[in-house]
């Protein structure tokens, strides 16, 4: 990354004025396969009703959806990359491609720094904005989350995130570009009961080879989901989805 790139990002921060304090870019990760976590934003405007990130981070739920870029993140990351080795997971507790990224381009800046430092990285998102950065993803692994196929359900469950078809199109676009990609199906919720085959078929059509399956985290507050009539998928629904996906040739992995 050139210093003019860094100044461009810094200027965005100055214009925006509101930023979240940040003392380090990379933090150790206990997630499988990841050595470090990198989250360019504090908070997430996708606003998923099942989000347990605030609980995980011991952060108040109030204000979580008013996401802020992290102050000085790119300068910190540039300093840190020289002394670490391992895989960096981008978007472990917030979406790195939430709408704010379109202008702030912090995630893009992070990708360029990690790539220049020859570090391995993987990216996890619900947004097709990831396609913008395809030029920086040839050596990365990308996971796109899909929870259901219904626009109505998605608008209620994940109000700030792109609709399911846009995510499926993003998976297809990444596959066609030769990026290593998987679909994260999760959390599996009651609203896919009876639509397990349809969901598996829609995913298989994208050309993706691998599906990670995640169930509702035990730490999730069930009240917001209950308010829209949704609960965790039953074990038999989870099995039906896995069998359907497997019968279509998809490799199934459990997320955790």
Locus of tokens 């003019």: 4
Segment lying near ligand SF4 (by CB under 6 A), choices 11-19, 48-56, 113-121, 164-172: 48-56
DSSP state of 163: P
DSSP string, 189-236: BGGGTT-HHHHHHHHHHTT--EEEE-PPPTTS-SHHHHHTT--BPPHH
Scanning residues 124 to 143, which ones bind ligand SF4 (CB under 6 A)? Answer: 126
107, 138, 164, 176, 192 from 189: Cα distances, Å: 29, 32, 15, 29, 6
List binders of ligand SF4 among 92-131 (CB under 6 A).
94-95, 126
**Residue 164 near ligand SF4 by CB under 6 A:** no
**Which tokens hold the place of 158?**
């994940």
Specify the residue, 36 or 204, whose C-beta has the smaller distance to ligand SF4: 36
Name the segment binding ligand SF4 (CB under 6 A); options: 44-52, 73-81, 115-123, 215-223. 44-52
Shortest reach from residue 47's CB to ligand SF4, in Å: 6
The residue within the footprint of ligand SF4, chosen from 51, 90, 104, 237 (CB under 6 A), is 51
Q: In the complex with ligand SF4, which residue's Cβ is closer, 105 or 126? A: 126
Token couple for 238:
């989870």
- Nearest by Cα to 97 from 133, 60, 48: 133
Please select the residue that binds ligand SF4; options are 1, 9, 40, 46, rule is CB under 6 A: 46
Q: How far is the CB of 158 from ligand SF4 (least distance, A)?
A: 6
Tokens linked to 160: 């700030």
Q: Across the strands, what pairs with 212?
A: 184, 253
By CB under 6 A, name the one of 6, 12, 53, 76 that touches ligand SF4. 53
44 in contact with ligand SF4 (CB under 6 A): yes
How many chain residues touch ligand SF4 (CB under 6 A)? 9
Instruction: Tell me which DSSP letter residue 149 carries.
Output: S
Count the helix, strand and coil residues of the chain and give each as a percent rounded to the nearest 5: 40, 15, 40
Taking the complex as a whole, the smallest distance from the CB of residue 250 to ligand SF4 amounts, in Å, to: 23
Q: Supply the minimum distance, in Å, between the C-beta of residue 46 and ligand SF4.
A: 4
State yes or no: residue 48 binds ligand SF4 (CB under 6 A): yes
Cβ closest to ligand SF4, residue 95 vs residue 141: 95
**Residue ranges with strand state E in the chain:** 27-28, 36-38, 41-42, 68-69, 87-90, 120-125, 141-146, 180-185, 210-213, 251-254
Binding site for ligand SF4 (CB under 6 A): 44, 46-48, 51, 53, 94-95, 126
């Amino acid at each position: 990354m050139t210093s003019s790139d860094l100044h461009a990002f810094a200027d965005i921060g100055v214009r925006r004025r509101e930023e979240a304090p940040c003392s380090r870019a990379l933090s150790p990760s206990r997630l499988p396969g990841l050595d470090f976590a990198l989250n360019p934003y504090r908070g997430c405007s996708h606003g998923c009703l099942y989000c347990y990130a605030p609980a995980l981070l011991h952060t108040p739920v109030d204000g979580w959806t008013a996401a802020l870029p992290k102050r000085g993140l790119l300068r910190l990351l540039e300093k840190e990359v020289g002394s670490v080795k391992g895989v960096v997971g981008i978007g472990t507790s917030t979406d790195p491609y939430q709408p704010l990224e379109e202008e702030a381009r912090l995630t893009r800046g992070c990708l360029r720094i990690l790539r220049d430092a020859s570090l391995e990285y993987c990216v996890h998102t619900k947004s097709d904005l990831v396609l913008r950065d395809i030029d920086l993803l040839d050596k990365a692994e990308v996971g796109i989350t899909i929870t259901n196929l219904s626009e109505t359900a998605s608008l209620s469950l994940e109000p700030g995130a792109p609709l399911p078809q846009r995510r499926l199109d993003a998976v297809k676009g990444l596959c066609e570009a030769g990026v290593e990609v998987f679909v994260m199906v999760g959390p599996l919720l009651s609203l896919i009961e009876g639509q397990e085959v349809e969901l598996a078929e829609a995913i298989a059509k994208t050309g993706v080879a691998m599906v990670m399956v995640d169930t509702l985290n035990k730490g999730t507050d069930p009240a917001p989901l209950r308010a829209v009539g949704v609960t965790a998928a039953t074990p038999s629904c989870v099995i039906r989805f896995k069998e359907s996906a497997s019968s279509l040739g998809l490799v199934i992995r459990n997320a955790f």
